[in-house]
Structure 1
Amino acid sequence: MASSIDSTFNNAVTNKDIPGAVLAASNTGGSHKFLKTFGFSTLRTDDGTDRSMTPDTLFWLGSCTKLLTVIAALQCVQKRHFTLDEDVTRLLPELKDIQVRQPPQDGASEPKFSKTTKIITLRHLLTHTSGLSYTKFGDLTLPLIDRCLSPLNFEPGEGFIYGTGVDFAGFMVERVSGLTLEAYLRKNIGEPLGIKSICFRPADYPALREKLADVSIRKDKAGPVEWTPATIWPLDTEGDSGGSGAYATIADFHKVLHSITANDGVLLHSDMAEELFRPNMDPVVRQAVMKALEDENRNNIYGGLPKGTQVAYAIGGMVVLEDLPGRRPKGALHWGGLLNVFFWMDRTNGFCGIYGSQVFPAGDPKCLALFAEFERRTYDICYAAADYK
Structure 2
Amino acid sequence: MDDVTRILDGFTDPTTGSLHGAIFVVIDSSGKTIYERTSGKASFEDGNSTAPQLDSLCWVASMTKLVTAVAIMQLVEQNLLSIDDDARDYVPELKGIQILRDDHGHLDTLQPRLEPVQGKLAIRHPLIFEPGTSWAYGAGIDWAGRVVECVSNSTLEDYMQENIWSKLGETSTTFHPERRRDTLPAALEMGYRVSIGHGSKSVKQGPITLHQPAKDSLGGIGLFSTTTDYVKLLAALLKGGAPILSRKGLDILFQPHLSEASRLAMPKSLGLQMSRILGINSVDDAGQADHCLAGTINLKDIPGRRKAGTVNWSGLPNLHWWIDPKTGIAATLFTQLMPPGDAAVTSLLIELEEATYRALADKVNSNSISPRL
Give the TM-score of the pair, scaled to structure 2: 0.89
The reply to whether residue 115 of structure 1 matches residue 116 of structure 2 is yes
Q: Give 1:324's aligned residue.
A: 302
Q: Residue 300 of structure 1: CA displacement?
A: 1.2
Aligned residue among 136, 140, 155 for 1:165: 140
Shift of 1:368: 1.2
The one-letter code of the counterpart of 2:110 is S
What's 2:248 paired with? 271
Contact 2:8 2:352 in 1 (8 A): no
Q: Deviations over 1:90-127 (max 9, x none)?
A: 21122113212233278752132221111211122xxx
Alignment check: 8 A CA contact 1:334 1:345 kept: yes
Cα pair 1:32 1:382 within 8 Å, conserved:
no
Q: Which deviates more, 48-57 or 82-91?
A: 48-57
Task: Give the C-alpha shift of residue 305 in structure 1.
Answer: 3.6
Give me the whole-angstrom Cα distance separating, in 2, the residues matched to 1:359 and 1:60. 10
Moved more, 301-310 or 330-339: 301-310
Secondary structure in 1 aligned to 2:52? coil
1:372 and 2:371 are equivalent in the alignment: no
Residue 217 of structure 1, CA deviation: 1.0
Shift of residue 263 of structure 1?
Answer: 0.6
Residue 313 of structure 1 aligns with an amino acid whose one-letter code is H
Residue equivalent to 1:144 = none
User: Residue 259 of structure 1: which of 232, 236, 239 is its match?
Assistant: 236
Asked if 2 retains the 8 angstrom alpha-carbon contact of 1:221 and 1:365, the reply is: no
Q: Indicate if the aligned counterparts of 1:43 and 1:226 stay in contact, CA closer than 8 A.
A: no
One-letter code aligned to 2:118? T
CA contact (8 A) 1:317 1:335 kept: yes
Shift of 1:371: 1.2
Equivalent pairs counted in the alignment come to 356
RMSD: 2.1
User: Counterpart in 1 of 2:58?
Assistant: 59
Give runs of aligned pairs for residues 2-13 of structure 1, distance below 5 A.
3-13=2-12
Contact 1:299 1:305 in 2 (8 A): no
Moved over 3 A (4+): 29-32, 48-51, 105-108, 207-210, 221-225, 229-233, 301-306
Corresponding residue of 1:290: 267
2:91 paired residue number: 92
Distance 1:110 1:360, change over 3 A: same
Unaligned stretches of 5+ residues in structure 1? 125-129, 132-152
Matches within 5 A, 1:1-389: 1=1, 3-14=2-13, 15-29=16-30, 33-45=34-46, 51-104=50-103, 109-124=110-125, 130-131=126-127, 153-207=128-182, 209=184, 211-224=186-199, 225-293=202-270, 298-301=271-274, 304-306=277-279, 307-308=281-282, 309=285, 310-383=288-361, 384-385=363-364, 386-389=369-372
In 2, Cα distance between equivalents of 1:220 and 1:330: 36
| Aligned-partner SS, 2:357 | helix
Cα distance in 1 for residues equivalent to 2:48 and 2:203 = 17
Tell me the equivalent position of 1:143: none
Q: Secondary structure at the match of 1:94?
A: helix
Give percent identity, aligned residues only.
27
**Cα distance 1:106–1:187, how it changes in 2: closer, same or farther (>3 A)?**
closer
Aligned-partner Cα distance in 1 for 2:24–2:173: 18
Letter in 2 for 1:260: L
What is the distance in 1 between the residues matched to 2:162 and 2:330?
24
Using a 3 Å threshold, how does the CA distance of structure 1 residues 312 and 10 change in structure 2: closer, same or farther? same
**How far apart are 1:319 and its partner, in Å?**
0.9
In the alignment, what sits opposite 1:145?
none
* 1:96–1:41 distance in 2 versus 1, CA, 3 Å: same
CA distance in 2, matches of 1:51, 1:187: 34
CA positional deviation for 1:342: 0.5
Given that 1:69 and 1:169 are in contact with CA atoms closer than 8 Å, whether structure 2 keeps it comes out as yes
Question: Quick check: 189-198 or 14-23, which moved more?
Answer: 14-23
The answer to whether the Cα contact below 8 Å between 1:12 and 1:18 also exists between their aligned partners in 2 is yes
Structure 2 SS opposite 1:188: helix
Contact 1:185 1:198 in 2 (8 A): no
Q: CA offset at residue 299 of structure 1? A: 2.5
Task: Tell me the distance in 2 between the aligned counterparts of 1:327 and 1:188.
Answer: 33
The range that moved more, 62-71 or 14-23, is 14-23
Cα distance in 2 for residues equivalent to 1:348 and 1:210: 34
Give 1:50 deviation, angstroms. 6.2
Q: Distance in 1 between matches of 2:176 and 2:86?
A: 31
Aligned-pair CA distance for 1:301: 4.8
Counterpart AA for 1:312: D
Deviates more, 1:280-289 or 1:56-65: 280-289
